[in-house]
Chains A and B, each alone.
Chain A
């Protein structure tokens, strides 16, 4: 993993507070696990029917019946529980999920999220993303600031089909930490090795800056 990606994952790990029930999306968000301190008190939910997910196992230790939602062979922590998909999403929609960290294709300044479909190019289905995005108490997007062609992912409005409306609270990228507020995007932190101008240029909507002008680095 590049230094920039490591930095953003490490920053995202600080969003996980002690005692939370958390769902980490497939891909980069899953890497957050490696940045949590040993013995950190948190319950990781996996939507295929597991609360109390432990570290990923090698093939020699793996149980063929025990995977996370991304298909990785995982362990369980003492106190873990298995349940069916109905119970798993009752937990999500019922408001028991304190935090989810998800990837994104596009985010809008009102918090709209698009992360499941690019018409004509990518439409594998929405899986559990709508319910996670719409019902987790807090939704953090962990994503590169721009797409592979360098185009901004943070926009004034999404052009792709939405996963959920007005759901995103915070966006952590390789360049910045940005909150979604009633006034639009608010810049909270800047990555090392970047500048305010670079972040503004890579963002497809206006950014509100801290009133005292001091922007912490991560």
Chain B
């Protein structure tokens, strides 16, 4: 036996995504954002997308390209303060935005990835964030029901992967990537380094290969991956 090889091309990986798809996109700021997969999505031009991402990147970076091209209909996010275009589109009614607490977004994705349907929490009770969500009493406490979040696809950025899709992330580039890889029907991964099976020690793997569907090895990194000089 040997573990299957999931490597593919950028074009073929993104080509699986149809119009109207819901897509989870890793990253918190620049670290962990799959810029090459996003650029290919921009090039192929799939429309009416729903994106789930912690933030909306910054002007000229990452999913800002997809907002500028009009490919995004809806965004589920925690904070878009660094992207004036996202705020403008939202205020103009051209982009539906659903805000979610950051750890609650992580937990909703985790629930989705783990086959759960919802969970109860006291986070946000009594605030605007809980309005319209089902509430439930438990042991004398009022709690809000947060639903699990899954998607058709996840776009993931890894530092190192083997050909089966065992992944390692670098520093704070891990962020939402592990939960998102779990919560999609089809997880598409770009990796800075591709290593042979067995090169990653089983104890050192952040995302186990069974969560990954297709893998793309990146060539030289574009400028988007570099430092943001403010």
The residues of A with any CB-CB pair to B shorter than 8 Å are 46-50, 59, 62-69, 71, 73, 82-86, 88-90, 92-93, 117, 123-131, 134-135, 161-165
Contacts and interface: CB of A to CB of B under 8 A. Distances in A.
A77 to B, nearest CB: 14
A63 B171 contact: yes
Given A73-B227, A125-B79, A126-B129, A47 B102 contact: yes
Contacts of B23: none
B195 to A, nearest CB: 18
| SS class, residues of chain A in contact with chain B | loop
Given A59-B229, A126-B99, A131-B123, A85 B30 contact: no
Contacts, number: 140
A69 B81 CA distance: 13
A127 B53 CA distance: 12
B81 A85 contact: no
B203 interface: no
Contacts of B28: 48-49, 67, 69, 85
17 contacts: A48-B31, A59-B229, A64-B30, A65-B171, A71-B29, A84-B175, A85-B175, A86-B179, A89-B102, A93-B121, A124-B81, A127-B81, A131-B101, A131-B102, A134-B124, A162-B126, A162-B127
B42 to A, nearest CB: 21
Contacts of B178: 84, 86
Contacts of B104: 89, 130-131
B93 to A, nearest CB: 14
A125 to B, nearest CB: 4
Interface residues of B, number: 52
B45 to A, nearest CB: 27
Interface in B118-162: 121-129, 159
Nearest to A163: B127
B178 to A, nearest CB: 5
B29 A48 contact: yes
A125 B129 CA distance: 10
Given A125-B78, A125-B79, 12 more contacts: A48-B28, A48-B29, A64-B30, A64-B227, A66-B171, A82-B174, A84-B106, A85-B103, A124-B87, A130-B101, A162-B127, A165-B126
B79 A86 contact: no
B181 to A, nearest CB: 10
B177 A84 contact: yes
A92 B54 CA distance: 17
B172 A165 contact: no
B220 interface: no
A50 B31 CA distance: 13
B127 A164 contact: yes
Nearest to B86: A124
A64 B178 CA distance: 19
- 5 nearest interchain CB pairs? A89-B103, A124-B81, A127-B79, A125-B79, A128-B102
A25 to B, nearest CB: 13
